[in-house]
Amino acid sequence: MQFRSHTLDNGLEIIAECNDEARSTSLGFFVRTGARDETDDVAGVSHFLEHMMFKGTPTRTAEQVNLEFDALGADYNAFTSEEQTVYYASILPEYQDRTLALLADMMRPSLRTEDFDTEKKVIIEEIRMYLDQPPYGADDVVRQLHYGKHPLGRSVLGTVESITDLPVEKMRAYFDRRYSPTNLTLVAAGKVDFDALVLSAELGCGKWDKVDAPREAPPANGACRRETVHKPQSTQEYVIQLSDGPSATDEDRYAAKLLATVLGDDCGSRLFWELIDPGYAESASLSHHDGIGAGAFITYLACDPEQTADNLKRLNDVLAAVESSGITAAELAQAKSKVNSRVVLGSERPRGRLFNLGGNWSNRREYRTVKDDLEAVDRITLTDLAAVVKKFPLSKNTTVCVGPLESV
């Protein structure tokens, strides 16, 4: 296992964890752009653009892009979040060069008007699909309420209106501002021929012009709000709570992950025993998300509407108990064995390592081995968890309920 890195003259960074034992190769472009980099007049453009990146280049039609990926036997996709847009493919090692050539070409798309008009309909269907499914867009509502005007309050999908109104020229301008080689990282994991990778990158990406692609990351001071969204068609009531947590650059992030495991893992956590095991709720979980400049704890609850008030009380009691009495050494030890096992299992495939490498580099320009992560988890003490609980009180949260209840 060897870490390699290289920077092209135009600023594009290439990083790889090369593992000769691996059977496959994963490649990805990690772009530091997402909903947080948008403004109201282009709400949802990062995600729409992610779709458009598959729609062809001056030398390839949209159909050719799909045909070529499939001919390479690639397992490929892309996703967009508040913070980043990622394009990735897993392939057999012998297709490394051809796959990179294709991915690199895609990163300079044509953004043709007719493709844009057709794809707009697909995006609107995607938005409508999510609006028909729990939590019916309440994940966007909770972020808007909590972060207000802060960039993290923005929706990744945008709305049917914002997408309908978006002109192609604004997407092109957004692309020009955000897809500078200095704002992308080429990441590779698994069986990687690094010298060949650099050569292909030079060929495919070396001519890209760089521009400034700044990102604002003001500190987030989350509000503490409550809202109920009435959705009479829903059978269950859904609750999302969001509170501030350690960010991606905060050393406390490992303690935060362990705290979330103790409190809200899907099995064996305090919320599990209080809400799921007795059958009071269909699901109840608490997880930690580390973003740039701000992290968050997110709690999710789904239950019979009639039990919502009681469940919210049970949930609040769990949060209050950890703030007043902390957690036990046995709980911490168990959380460590869970998290460590997940780290090891999640790292067996090159695909798992790709996301880990890309995330660490985008967030901190740092390379971490699996062993580094395991050791970081092992070092965490009860005092570290207590510090997180004190600094980021879970009871100070924004709560959104959506479902058949008119008020909660």
What are the residues binding other proteins (CB under 8 A)? Answer: 21-24, 54, 62-63, 66-67, 69-75, 90-92, 118-126, 128-129, 131-134, 233-236, 267-268, 272-273, 276-283, 302-304, 333-334, 337-338, 340-342, 344-345, 348-350
Q: Residue 124 CB, nearest distance to other proteins (Å)?
A: 8
Q: Under a CB-based contact definition with an 8 Å cutoff, are residues 119 and 41 in contact?
A: no
CB of 73 to other proteins, least distance (A): 3
At 408, is the secondary structure helix, strand, or coil? coil
Residue 274, number of CB atoms within 10 A of its CB: 19
Q: Which C-beta is closer to other proteins: that of 303 or that of 400? A: 303
Q: Using CA atoms, how far apart are residues 123 and 128, in angstroms rounded to an integer?
A: 9
Closer to other proteins by Cβ: residue 253 or 353: 353
Please identify, using beta-carbon distances, which residue of 166 and 292 lies nearer to other proteins: 166
Both tokens assigned to 20: 């000769």
Pick the closer one to other proteins by CB: 123 or 201. Answer: 123
CB of residue 376 to other proteins, shortest distance in Å: 17
C-beta of 11 vs 73, nearer to other proteins: 73
To the nearest whole angstrom, how small is the minimum distance from the Cβ of residue 65 to other proteins? 8
Minimum CB distance to other proteins smaller for 71 or for 173:
71
Spell 25-50 as b/e; 16+ CB within 10 A means b.
bbbbbbbbbbbbbbeeebbbbbbbbb
Structure tokens at 63: 């159909």
302: nearest Cα among 407, 401, 406, 405: 401
Residue 126 or 193: the one with the smaller Cβ distance to other proteins is: 126
Q: Which is nearer to other proteins, 114 or 406 (CB)?
A: 114
Residue type, 205: C
Least separation in angstroms between CB 221 and other proteins:
34
Q: How far apart are CA 373 and CA 360, in angstroms?
A: 11
**Which value, in Å, is the radius of gyration of the alpha carbons in the chain?**
22
DSSP H stretches of helix in 76-207: 96-106, 113-131, 138-147, 160-165, 168-178, 194-205
Q: Which is nearer to other proteins, 123 or 292 (CB)?
A: 123
Q: What distances in angstroms separate CA 240 from CA 198, 290, 374, 401, 402, one per listed residue? A: 44, 17, 30, 7, 9
Q: What is the 3-state secondary structure (H, E, C) of 367-400?
A: CCCHHHHHHHHHHCCHHHHHHHHHHCCCCCCEEE
> At residue 57, what are phi and psi to the nearest 5 degrees?
-135, 180
Shortest separation between residue 8's beta carbon and other proteins, angstroms: 28
Q: What's the min distance (Å) between Cβ of 297 and other proteins?
A: 21
Measured from the CB of residue 305, what is the shortest distance to other proteins in angstroms? 9
Residue 261 φ/ψ, nearest 5 degrees:
-65, -45
Query: 81 vs 340, which CB is nearer to other proteins?
Result: 340
CA distance 161 to 152: 20
3-state helix, strand, coil in the chain (%, to 5): 50, 20, 35
